[in-house]
Structure formats: C-alpha cells, structure tokens
Structure 1
C-alpha cells in the first residue's frame, strides 16, 4: 500500500500541542520539585564536567556533552540540566502523532497515539532526567517517521536523513545500531524491499557511520568496553528487575496500558490486514527486539522508543473499524486511557520522589568530614575512591561546594579515566558494598568509625604496585 501525497489528514496540532504542553509543564514541575540528582544524571554531569571525551566505557558522548553545556551556561542548576530531557520527552509525543498521520491516521487517531505516548509510566518517571535513556526514544521514533514518510512520498532525501539521525542517535546510545540492523532486516524480509535498492540509503548509512566514527574509535582504542556491558546488564537483570521473566512483562508495563494495548492491536492488524503490508517491518522489528531483550535480560525500558510507532498502526486500525461502523468496543478506550493517566501521574510522583532524597549529598558530607579530619600533609597524598561509580559521581558533582578533590572509582567509565597520580599513597574508599575487593591492592586498611546510618569509609594505604599497573587490575564494569 503506497499512499499519495494528498490523501492524509492534517496534523491534529491543537490536541497534540495541548497534550505535549501538559507533559512539558508536568515534567518541568517534576524537575523543579526533585531538587536532587538522579544517580544516572549525576554520572552524566560528572563525565561532562571533568572527563568529556569522544566516548566513555558505557556511554557515547552526547548526553555528557549536553550536561557540560548546561553546567557551563547555568552552573549547578539542576533544572537547567534537565531541559534537554524534557524537550526530548515532549518530542516523542509530536513524532508519534506525525507517524500516525503519515500512515493515514486522522485527527482522532493522532490524538489517541499522542495521549498513549504521553501516558507511558516510564516516560513519566524519567522524562525529566538528563540520561541517555530519556533522550533515546525520540531518536528511534524519528527514524521510524522518516521511513514511514518515505514509504508514502518516495523522496530519497528522507533515507539520507535516516543516516544522519541514526548517527546522532548512536552518539546518544549504541543500541540504535541494533535497532537499525533489525529494522532493515525486517524490510528485507517483508518489505518494502525497494528501500534497500536506494543508493541514498547506503550513502546515509555512510554519513551515520562518519558521525559516530569518533566514539567508535574511542571504543576500539579502549578494548570495546561497551560490548562487555551486555554481560553486565544481563547479570543485573535478577537483582534489579526480578530476572528475564519479569523483564518480559515489564517491557509492556513500562509502556503503559494505552500504548501497549494499541501496539498489540497494531501487531495483530499487521498480521491479518494486507492493506498494512508496507508497515509489517515494524511488527518484525518489534517482535525480534522484544525477544532479544527478554531473552538476554535487557533493561525494561529498552523498547520504549518503539511502542509509539506500533501504537500508530493500532490507532489506524481502530480508525478503519470506526469508519466501517464497527464500534462495539469503543467504550473500552476511556477506561484504558484513564488507567494510563493515573499510572503516569504515579510515575511522575515516583520520579520526583527518587530525586527528592538528599542521600547523594549526605555521602559527600560524610566524605568531606573524614577527608578534613586527615592531617593537611596526608590530604595532599590521599585520593578519594568511590567504591561505586555512583558515589564517585556524587562526590564530583558536589566537589566545589565541599572543597573536595576529584574523585576516582574503578567502576564503569570511571575505571577508564586516568588513575591517581604517583604521589598518592593513601586512599579513602567510600562505599559499603565490597571493601574486600580493594583491600588486596594495599598493605594497610582500616575502617573509619562513624554514625551507623552513614556510608562506610575505609582508609587504605601502601599501594602494592604503581598506579599504572594497579588501576587496570582494579577496573570493573560492574556497579559494585
């Protein structure tokens, strides 16, 4: 089915704009109310402030670069830091509606999809945190929109733009490479195969590769740590989300009842409605990615950038039933959307609550207290090591406020940052998870006594080898 350039409805800009504005206001309010940092965004801030490079062990550079830019323009402003994430979250709503329009959806279908995208619980929780997973969904939806629009108008400049968007998305999160590979496999399997014969598609792929080449080079120079993260993520599936079976359910839960319901109906429609055959690649892509993420123990939010596209198919199918006079289940729409809205508001509150705690700053206060208790001469020879990269990131985020030196950590990207200098013969290890992991690298260690409700601090001295030798041995991609 190829639609002409004249038989699609106008963009339902009024309801879409209202829904988008409501989400923007709510997310901005959440950004203001949640005065503390979420640990993943403080990690982005720490990388951007002190270690910005073309890449890091587990993150491409775009999100840390945005954090650095925000911090340069509006120093220490948590709200300003979160503006890019809020804009990206709002953008997913608009692009999901645009996808629906390109498929032939009328104003009502566009509004249904916009509301479904807006009421996704995970987007409500994390839509104001400056993290790669808050920025990623709009990139995936843009890729689908460009491809769906190409199917309708066959303008090859659109497939060239695909490469540009994919390259930028890869600078946000490498997962888009897997998404694009699966989506093109879906096109090769069920069509429209004419896409694969377009020279500008492969020119666009080259442009995308050129855009993300610097971060790929960084990965190659450091032994491809990003590839090793898949095993780490799988190992964290059980303690974080209850294992693979739980993740298989949460992949839908995180999308919300409205988006998940429309997506499932869209998936069914792709199978049985030949008029939708040009969009069957979306069904193949969704099923393949769902199976891969569920089987490997991926994060439950990994599919959040695709539900809006499949929901557009579902909304279009509902529109056709309505146009055919088949409105038997029309009454079910409102309850589903009300439940979705309630879950989204609950998710928004949770997102605020998770950043309202002052636990991160309490860690830094405890660190500063112990560090200042050391003799001045010893402080000059002492490095701060966060047992977890999260602890190190919090110390770096509040370092100027508490007059602390830069933090180190063997965990995640911190393990690939420069090691302590040769003058360092003592470290304060902040963290209470696995202090025994670092003890073998020092000749002496003792716990610094403090309040029971505070994080543990260990003083370790006498490194057994030079830091250039020790640091690679201590390095780990685990959270620890």
Structure 2
C-alpha cells in the first residue's frame, strides 16, 4: 500500500507540472527569507524547500519528494498503529488503505506544505504513545519529545494536540504515564528543539496568534462557516475513513477492552469541538484519521473473528468506493497544478520589467498585492531573471522592506490604490488576466520604514 501510494503521488507530480500556491510560498521563503520562523508558519517546510531547491534547482519533482515521503510513511505508521492495537494482517491492510485514500492526504500529499508534513508527525506521536502503553519502554517517551519538537517546527497545532492529550490522559488514563520522568524529559527536549521558532514569534509580536483570527475570518467564504467546517473535518477522512473512524471512536469510548486507549477518542472529540468552535481549517484533524481508522479496523476484526470470509463484502465495497473516490481527488489535484497562472504572472511581469529603462530598473522593486502573487514571482524568478519580490501581505509583510534607494514600484495586483497614496504617480503597463494588472508607481513620498508597517496585513483581501 505504501508503494502504491508513493507511485500514485509520483505520477500526480509528473502530470501536474506547475506549483501549488502554498508550496511555491514555502519555496520563496526558503530561497530568499529563511529564518527561524515567519508570520504564519514555522520554518521546517520552508527549510526543506530550500534544501530541495539547492539540490535540484527549479525541479518541481525534487521539491515534492519530502511531501511524498511523508505521505507514504503515514500509510505505514497507520498500519503499525493497527498492529499495536492487536490488529492482524487484514486489519493492518484495511487501515493502510484507509490512510492512503483519505481525501486530504490524497489531495495534498505531493505538495510540499506544512499541512502535508503534519499528518505523519501526528501519527508518529500517537504510535509512540500507543506503543508505550503496550510495552512500557520509557525510551519511546524521549523519542516522543524529539518528534513533538520537530512537529512544532512544522505547524503549531501540535501544541494544542499535546495539551489536549495530557488533559484526556489525566481524565481517562493511563495516569501513570504522567508520572514517568521520561515524559517530562521528552517535553524538555521538545521545548529545546522548538525554542528558536518560539523565540522568533515572541520577538515579532506573535503574529501566529493573530493568524487564528485571520483563519476564522476566512472560514465563512472558504468553507461555509461552522457547519461547513464541522462536515469537512469528518469528510476529509475519505469513504473508509469516515466509516472506520466513527466506528473506531465509538468503540474506543464504550468497549471495555479499549479502556486504556480511551484518551485517543476523547482527544479527537475535544479537538473536533475546538476546531469547529474556533473556525479552524477543515484539515486540522488529518493526523488522527489513521489512528481512529486503526481502532475501527481492529474492532471489526474482533467482531468478525468467527464470521466466514463471504460476510466481509461490505468492507470490500468500502475499499472499492474509497479507492475510486481517491482517484478522482488525485485527478482534481493534478488539474489544480496544471494551471499556468503562476508562470503567467511571472512571465508577464518579467516582460514589463525588462522593458523599463535600465537606470529605472536599478531603483525599482516588484510588489505583489498578496503573498500568493509575490510567491509566484519569487518561485519563477530564476527562470525569468526577476529580482526578489516584496509584499506587505502575510509573512512577506514581516520580511525586510525595499532598500531606501528604491523609489519606484512595479505593482502586480487588482488595483494599486492601497499603495498609490505613497507615490506621486501610477500608470498601468500590462495585464496578466481579467483580475490582475501590472502598474508602475513612481516618486515615493515617504520612507519605506514608515510605509511598510502601515500596509502590513495578514489578511488576503
């Protein structure tokens, strides 16, 4: 199953030749602005993007290798969790199929983004906890600290996962875990590993906390508000994931033999309520789909131990339906990255930029209306000989402003009005499409150090 998953995402990468906007954003940060953090993401994904870009410049396939590896390993980890639960070969395979065909990993599993790397980290955390419960080897708790620290360097949601896990273990057990010195040694290691990015956030005023409000504000338009988030948090598990996950959660909460693992279902329920209440992204539970599915698959194994094979036809139908749905989602994913909009933005901007007089180009900066536009310009910069782009949106707003010698801006966006008042003139020089134009703004009237904080925003208008 892991091999099939890897092959499917390799094919999707080869067919979808363009960048997904979130991964080109990671590439741009890694290439030009790599630091211990950024306004909306910790540094791990950007650092991996920089590493892959250095190894194979401008290779989309190479850029996506870490994401495909993470997605593939997640399939193995899900099956290993089923084995820790006591699952036999059939339950392990069913869990692996469920993880491989979950809608969110299928859609994004070959894009190098923080939310693609996160599920495998959550699964590793849960596997270490579940295995510790079975074998009581405290070295697993030290390893847990390392994994948590790396996960914090990828996405901050893992901090919430750990907090809820601790509370649910205190309530549901096994409480002796909380008395193990190795657990708190692991926690110390996690804090030490994550300290640089936490310090970066502290020194920049915790923009990540402000992003919580931004995400909630976008939920209505992107996901249909709380009802949409509530449904999608479940649906993204896929056909098998929904059935096995809900069944597994129910069994974890009520069956006596699952008592020592009850904290898993409690954690999933609490996180679900929190994410719906706070209008989080509908993929925030993707790292728990495989765990709940493993519990569901093993519960089916226990229930059907004495049933003949021909009574297992519902599971076979579920597998076929789940695989068929995953194939459709994978095709949609390929289509999403075959669009040439990003390259078109860069190509058209390069044509306009190269047509500027040479002396003017020396004092001209590229300014994207949004972080998406700026990231596309940076992503394709080597191909079209473009200078690094600027933007006042998202993490770009926390990067350095243009140099004082820059008095002209080539603005790529819908309208230059937000920036127009800081310049003497604005003229349209080109058009990318019906939505985006290219404008030259001349005669800067205030220092950049005054302009930048006034225009900085985390919201994409």
Into which bin does the TM-score normalised by the smaller protein fall? over 0.9
| C-alpha displacement of 1:36 | 0.6
Q: Does 1:438 align with 2:413?
A: no
TM-score normalised over the length of structure 2 = 0.97
Written as runs of structure 1 = structure 2, the 5 A alignment for 1:417-432 is 417-432=399-414
Compute the RMSD of aligned alpha carbons.
1.5
Q: Is the 1:39–1:390 Cα contact (8 Å) retained in structure 2?
A: yes
403 and 212 in structure 1: CA distance in 2 versus 1, 3 angstrom threshold: same
Rounded Cα–Cα distance in structure 2 between residues aligned with 1:359 and 1:374: 23
Distance 1:449 1:146 in 2: 55
Shift of 1:37: 0.5
Q: Which residue in the other structure is 1:91 paired with?
A: 73
Runs of 4+ in 1 over 3 A off after TM superposition: 324-330, 449-454
What per-residue deviation string (whole Å, max 9, x for no partner) do you get for residues 155-190 of structure 1? 111111111100011111111111111111110110
CA distance in 2, matches of 1:96, 1:173: 20
Query: For structure 1, which segment, 440-449 or 76-85, has the greater mean C-alpha deviation from structure 2 after superposition?
Result: 440-449
Residue 416, structure 1, aligned to residue 398, structure 2: yes
How far did residue 437 of structure 1 move? 2.3
2:450 match: 469
Counterpart check, 1:76 vs 2:58: yes
Deviation of the 1:453 alpha carbon: 4.1
Aligned 1:320-469 pairs, distance under 5 A: 320-325=302-307, 330-432=312-414, 435-450=416-431, 453=434, 455-469=436-450
The 5-angstrom pairing of residues 247-258 of structure 1 reads 247-258=229-240
> What residue is the counterpart of 1:264 in the other structure?
246
- Partners of 1:144 and 1:316 in 2: CA distance: 16
Matched residue pairs, number? 461
User: 1:136: which partner in 2?
Assistant: 118
| Equivalent residue in structure 2 for 1:51, among 29, 33, 40 | 33
Q: Which runs of 5+ in 2 are unaligned?
A: none
Q: Could you say which residue in structure 2 is the equivalent of 1:479?
A: 460
For the 8 Å contact 1:48–1:67, the answer to whether it is kept is yes
SS of structure 1 residue aligned to 2:286: coil
Whether contact under 8 Å (1:100, 1:110) holds in the other structure is yes
Q: Secondary structure at the match of 1:306?
A: helix
* Contact 1:366 1:454 (8 Å CA) reproduced: no
Secondary structure in 2 aligned to 1:81? helix
CA distance in 2, matches of 1:338, 1:235: 38
Alignment of 1:27-66 (within 5 A): 27-66=9-48
**1:381·1:426 contact (CA, 8 Å) conserved in 2?**
yes
Q: Which consecutive residues of structure 1, in runs of 5 or more, have no partner in the other structure?
A: 1-18
Q: Secondary structure at the match of 2:409?
A: strand
**Cα pair 1:366 1:455 within 8 Å, conserved:** no
Report the secondary structure of 1:181's partner residue.
helix
**2-structure distance, mates of 1:226, 1:273:** 40
* Alignment partner, residue 14 of structure 1: none
1:216, 1:236 → 2: CA distance? 25
Q: Is the 8 A contact 2:253 2:266 kept in 1?
A: no
Shift of the alpha carbon at 1:451? 6.8
Deviation of the 1:449 alpha carbon: 4.8
Between the aligned partners of 1:160 and 1:441, the Cα distance in structure 2 is 54
Structure 1 distance, partners of 2:427, 2:223, is: 35
Deviation at 1:325, TM superposition (A): 4.3
User: Separation in 2 of the partners of 1:276 and 1:255?
Assistant: 22
The structure 2 residue matched to 1:174, chosen from 130, 135, 156, is 156
Among 81, 90, 95, the alignment partner of 1:108 is 90
Does the CA contact (< 8 Å) of 1:321 and 1:327 recur in 2?
no
Structure 2: distance between partners of 1:389 and 1:195:
44
| C-alpha distance in structure 2 between counterparts of 1:122 and 1:103, whole Å | 24
CA distance in 2, matches of 1:190, 1:442: 62
Counterpart residue number, 1:127: 109
